[in-house]
Amino acid sequence: MLKLLLLAIVFWLIYTILKRYRSSVDQKPQSREKPEDMVQCAHCQLHLPRSESIKSGALHYCSETHRQQHQP
Ligand SMILES: [Zn+2]
């Protein structure tokens, strides 16, 4: 019975170490990621990443609704 308990502890330790190792590996590429260009919504002045913005000519908008509202 004691052997089984020791085995369980060993497995738990290996599992914890692997989990910690994996999360430290996963975090590295995220911190290296360069910040994306920020643009400002022409309607509400909200800042958002360029890839999430809606472009209309030289202007950017945070949503399709604001793009429609801003146009005359
Ligand atoms: Zn907006």
**How far is ligand 1, taken at its centre, from the CA of residue 23, in Å?**
36
Q: Angle CA(32)–CA(40)–CA(55) in degrees, nearest 5?
A: 95
**How far is ligand 1, taken at its centre, from the CA of residue 59, in Å?**
11
11 in any annotated domain: no
Count of domains forming the chain: 1
Angstrom distance (rounded) from CA 15 to CA 45: 48
Q: Where are the beta strands (DSSP E) in 1-72?
A: 38-40, 47-49, 54-56, 59-61
**How far is ligand 1, taken at its centre, from the CA of residue 7, in Å?**
58
51 in any annotated domain: yes
Positions of the chain with pLDDT under 70: 27-33, 72
Q: For residues 40 and 46, is the Cβ–Cβ distance under 8 A?
A: yes
Parent domain of 41: 36-72
pLDDT, position 48: 95
**How far is ligand 1, taken at its centre, from the CA of residue 63, in Å?**
6
**How far is ligand 1, taken at its centre, from the CA of residue 3, in Å?**
64
21 in any annotated domain: no
